[in-house]
Structure 1
Amino acid sequence: MKAEHLRLLADISARPTATVRTRLLAIRRLCRVFARELEAIDAERRALRRQAGKLRAFLPFTRLAVSDLERQAGICRSDAKRDLCRVLASFGRRLIRDQRMIEPLGFDGLCDLLNVNPVHRSELRRRTRVGLVEIVFIEGLEDSAEHQGDDWKEGPLFNACYHAMIELFRERRPSPAQATSCSLPAKRPAPRLRVVGGKAG
């Protein structure tokens, strides 16, 4: 997708005058594009690691080449990957925090937009509270009308919520000093030794 199309979608997703359905469709489309780009970066890294794996058969003569390929795999498009993760996380945070945004759609309207299988809809109706996060992230039913199996959870909005949660965990993770002070038990004094029992012998 061209940059101008991405900018247009980003503008629509933030436009307060746009309908909820239009904004959510724009966000979903953007998340799909960014998730695919992340997949492409990961595929490039895997290809480099496969090359390194093939060269390992000729160690120690290929040690430098293997090391260089592994280094390349670790840093391959790292800036782009970091930026994509941040953008997905920002959309995920917005979806998680602003549940009221989707209220005008109603249950059926939301399920239509998310392409949820009719069988799963009937199961969801029995629950007391079902919103976008429950459908997309907890149950992983986005696009369940098209896909079968574990890949249900790879929907574009699932990816956005996933990266938002990862970012949240990183922000709340204690520093190494705090983790050490919290996790290590206090030192116990060495027990006093004393002789117990009768005479030897």
Structure 2
Amino acid sequence: MLMKHDHFLHLTRIWSRPGLTLRTQLLIARRVARQFDQFDKVEGVVYSRASRSLKNGLPFTKGKLDKLEHDYRTLRKMRKAGRLAIGEWLMPAGAEIEAELGVDGICDVLAINPVHRAEAAEAKPSQAVDFLVFVAGLEDSATHFSARRPSPWKEGPLFHCVLELMMKFTKENPGALGDPFAPDGPLYGASKTLVRNDGTIETQRAALTLHSRDGTARVIERKPEVSR
């Protein structure tokens, strides 16, 4: 449910109050993060409709269209910063949260279905929050995929916050996680696409391995495909 703006601001002010328990902080973080997701969905629909209407009136509506796009980008940047702030709080606090709430307590707050909680045993000590939120992606499993059906994808309010933190880390430390397209990497063999600042799109497809009848093989590297 989409909260009123005043209620949302009041919730964020509660967050800054001293003496809150970790359970309360985690509950507020989840509620705020969920609200970010709701804002994305609602504003995305509103923006698409308004944008289509204004584009039909071009060039006379260009000023209004520019303002609409600017406001939409600004709101998205604000939510991105909010998710990042939650992720930066959640990850360092994970061990402390686990010590205070226990794994079952964390599962209760994250609304994880009891039939999925056995997966928490795979988490290393003091890493239950990271595992349940991001690795296993079980947040809200009691709501979205009840019974024993596995989740078709990873999502959840806090998952998006941790994902935002991870994307920031990979941008600031491009070599820290290794090349996923390298041999033995998870994306080895997949095509790589690079969009340059001038609008040029460069696609590097996987190398071809040619096998001869005599049992020998050779690898042919493909040239990058460039388009606009």
Q: TM-score, normalised to structure 1's length? A: 0.66
Query: Aligned pair 1:169/2:164, yes or no?
Result: no
Separation in 1, partners of 2:87, 2:25: 14
Moved more, 142-151 or 155-164: 142-151
Aligned position for 1:155: 156
Moved more, 126-135 or 71-80: 71-80
Pairing partner for 2:37 from 18, 35, 38? 35
Higher helix share: 1
TM-aligned CA deviation for residue 27 of structure 1: 1.1
Higher strand share: 2
The answer as to whether partners of 1:6 and 1:30 remain within 8 angstroms in 2 is yes
Separation in 1, partners of 2:51, 2:40: 17
Separation in 2, partners of 1:74, 1:168: 27
Q: What are the equivalent positions in structure 2 for 1:132-147 lying under 5 Å apart?
A: 132-147=129-144
TM-aligned CA deviation for residue 19 of structure 1: 1.4
TM-aligned CA deviation for residue 171 of structure 1: 3.2
Q: TM-score, normalised to structure 2's length? A: 0.59
Give the length in aligned residue pairs.
167
Separation in 2, partners of 1:127, 1:155: 18
Query: What secondary structure does 2:142 align onto?
Result: coil
TM-aligned CA deviation for residue 42 of structure 1: 2.9
Separation in 2, partners of 1:64, 1:170: 38
Pairing partner for 1:118 from 114, 124, 146? 114
Separation in 2, partners of 1:50, 1:165: 34
TM-aligned CA deviation for residue 76 of structure 1: 5.9
TM-aligned CA deviation for residue 2 of structure 1: 3.1
- Structure 1 residues 44 and 168 mapped into 2: Cα distance closer, same or farther (>3 Å)? farther
The answer as to whether partners of 2:120 and 2:128 remain within 8 angstroms in 1 is no
Which 4+ runs in 1 deviate beyond 4 A?
A: 45-52, 62-65, 70-76
The answer as to whether partners of 2:140 and 2:156 remain within 8 angstroms in 1 is yes
**AA of the residue aligned to 1:136:** V
The answer as to whether partners of 2:120 and 2:131 remain within 8 angstroms in 1 is no
Unaligned 5+ segments in structure 2 are: 146-150, 176-195, 197-228
Alpha-carbon deviations, 1:93-125, whole Å to 9, x = none?
111122234130101000011011112211222
Query: What secondary structure does 2:112 align onto?
Result: coil
- Structure 1 residues 163 and 42 mapped into 2: Cα distance closer, same or farther (>3 Å)? farther
Aligned position for 2:101: 105
Query: Aligned pair 1:10/2:7, yes or no?
Result: no
RMSD: 3.3
The answer as to whether partners of 1:14 and 1:23 remain within 8 angstroms in 2 is no
Unaligned 5+ segments in structure 1 are: 56-61, 177-201
Alpha-carbon deviations, 1:66-114, whole Å to 9, x = none?
x99x978865611111111111111111111222341301010000110
- Structure 1 residues 48 and 138 mapped into 2: Cα distance closer, same or farther (>3 Å)? farther
Aligned position for 1:21: 23
Separation in 2, partners of 1:160, 1:10: 16
